[in-house]
Amino acid sequence: MKDTKAIGKMTTIGIIIIILLIAAIAGYVYLYPQPRLKETLVMGTTDSVESCLDPARAYDYFGWEIVQSLGSGLVEYKAGATGSIDDIVPSLATSWTVSSDGLVWTFNLTQGVHYDDGTEFNATHVKYTFDRGIGIADEDGAFVGIGYDGIINNVTVTEKYVVKFYLKIPFAAFLSLLACQASYIVDPANAPMTSVVVYTEGNARGSHPMGLGPYLLRNWTRTAGKDYEMKLEANPNYWNASGGYPKTKNMIIKFYADSTGLALAIQAQEIDIAFRQLAATDINNMKTNTNLKVWEGTGAFIQYLVLQEKYAPFNNTKIRQAVGAAINRTTIVQTVFLGQAQNLYSMIPIGMFGHTDAFLTLGDPNYTKTQELLADLGYNETNKLSFKLWYETSGHYPSSPQQAQVLKSSLEASGVIAVTLDSADWPSYRTHRQNDEMEAYILGWYPDYIDPDDYIQPFVDSSGGSWIHHHYNNSQMDKLIAWARGNTTAATRSSLYNQIQNLMVEDCPIIPTYQGSAYAVTTLKIKGVYLDITQSWRHWLLYAEE
């Protein structure tokens, strides 16, 4: 028989303990009230969505920034990542294993996660996402640019919450690839299998195919094809990944025509955050402004000059090498960026595995080499090599007009080159690039995934590099890239990337110029800014106390 008196006594003691705990918590809150956080933060940028917010097509920094806020991947890089494989943490996948040959990856999925229409996420959505992305890929999207089809053989659902990836090659950077925004899972109800989701005026939900991220897109307005304003609202169904629930309910993003307008807005505190692109002089000035905070982080952004090989003059290797030898990177770094960047002599960033200063062999600058190379082709001080250099004017890249002017001066200082400058806003610039209408043009790159492959394959592989429209094609380069992609031994990969970079110098289809640092400027109360090697901007971690 149960001792009902003892049970009753224990129950009474338990109730008293609970009451005391509640009283203690209430007393703590009274004595140490928790600060209230602002419900809305306003961010300013000169950036914009290049094409759309569909990971099957989106392939630009700002587009991916929003994709990351609206969606989730199987894995992700934690805030503050340094590039180590240990920085990759679970997200929609809880755990994973890989076969001994590196060709089969098995992922166990998070359960109880729902899209905004109530549908529960499961393994079929993973298969749908990758089948769709590969199926509708075109040259302007990441699935072609990165070469998903050359990596993934098929995706198979084995259980409701288990999915397997069968690879064509034992790809060393596979986990990092899954962490990039192009690999984010889409909602089949909002992502047609045969078409890309694009901007629809007045219909923010119909303008993207995501649904599992920390935020929902409540408003997206564009004027004359240019972004005007966006509003992100905390997703009430979010499942507490990516470092926690959004700390700020509403994020409003305002778009500025240039860095001057953006700088004035943050200085007047009309916005809480300014990110991409502020001029170097403004950043330096704001460092002494006691009402603002300048955040500086790891830079993995690179900029480079593309030479169009489809037409003369850049269908000649010697001419491309001559231009490469006449670039003065130090002047760009010191004059345009006031030392807030580094000379770059490789497409692989400084500090990343595989980097060598390969392009330094051409000089920086070496005008004697430029003159000798061009003299062999009949160019001299009275018969100069003439071409048009293009740059964008929308603030998509930092200080593009100033960069172009310095490049022009640097090239013309050789005495045997004459440069004419031309420009266009980013949408037009992109169209000119797609139509092969530019001879020489400036582009930049933020990492898709943290591996040297991401700074090589999308640029000089004959399939991956098609989006750049430089028409470079070298079968030996393709072989080296394939070997580097399919090898997981560090020493072998390092040797292959050394050969790849040397071949890039020999062929000169692309010439790296500088590696930038990451900067953001905020009002003093803003917290939660992370500028790490991924270059990912995490809206959901931002907050400010009232």
pLDDT at site 1:
46
Q: What is the pLDDT of residue 10?
A: 54
Q: Enter the tokens of residue 435.
A: 């139509």
Q: Do residue 366 and residue 486 come from a single domain?
A: yes
In a domain, 35, yes or no: no
458-470, pLDDT tens digit by residue?
999 987 778 899 9
User: Is 18 contained in some domain?
Assistant: no
Q: What is the pLDDT of residue 514?
A: 97
What's the CA gap between 248 and 541, in Å, rounded?
A: 8
User: Please, are residues 452 and 420 in contact by the beta-carbon 8 Å criterion?
Assistant: no
Q: Side chain identity at 58, as an amino acid letter?
A: A
Both tokens assigned to 57: 């097509």
What pLDDT is stored for residue 2 in this prediction?
A: 46
Containing H/E element for 97? strand 93-98
What does the pLDDT read at residue 501? 98
131 inside domain: yes
The reply to whether 353 falls in a domain is yes
End-to-end CA distance of the chain: 60
**Which residues of the chain, if any, have pLDDT below 50?**
1-2, 4, 7, 29, 32
pLDDT for 435 equals 95
- CA-atom Rg of the chain in angstroms: 26
C-alpha distances (whole Å) from 339 to each of 281, 360, 395, 408 are 11, 19, 20, 20
492-517 confidence digits (pLDDT tens)? 999 999 999 999 999 999 999 999 99
Answer yes or no: is 95 within a domain. Answer: yes
Whether 183 and 314 map to the same domain: the answer is no
Please report, for the domain that includes residue 170, its CATH number: 3.90.76.10
Q: How far apart are CA 43 and CA 273, in angstroms?
A: 5
pLDDT of residue 13: 67
Domain around 503? 302-516
Domain boundary among 145, 169, 190: 190
Q: How many separate domains does the chain show?
A: 2
Residue 21 in any domain: the answer is no
Residue 233 and residue 216 in contact, taking contact as beta carbons nearer than 8 Å: yes
What is this structure's pTM? 0.86
Q: Which residue has the tokens 């499961």?
A: 122
Q: Closest Cα partner for 42 from 258, 251, 218?
A: 251
Domain match, 328 and 465 both: yes
Pair 325, 465 in one domain: yes
pLDDT at position 24: 59
Is 311 found in the same domain as 177?
no
In which order are the strands placed within the sheet that holds 341-343? Answer: 341-343, 510-516, 302-307, 440-445, 385-392, 417-424
Residues 170, 308 share a domain: no
Q: Does 479 lie in the same domain as 333?
A: yes
**Tens digits of per-residue pLDDT, 29-52?**
455 456 899 999 999 999 999 889
How far lies 475's CA from each of 73, 479, 480, in Å?
34, 6, 9
Question: Where does a domain end: 149, 168, 190?
Answer: 190
Residue 447 sits in a domain whose CATH number is 3.10.105.10
Domain boundary among 142, 160, 190: 190
Looking at the domain assignment, is residue 213 inside a domain?
no
Nearest to 51 by CA among 449, 429, 389: 429
Is 473 found in the same domain as 325? yes
Coil, strand or helix at 443 = strand
233 within a domain of the structure (yes/no): no
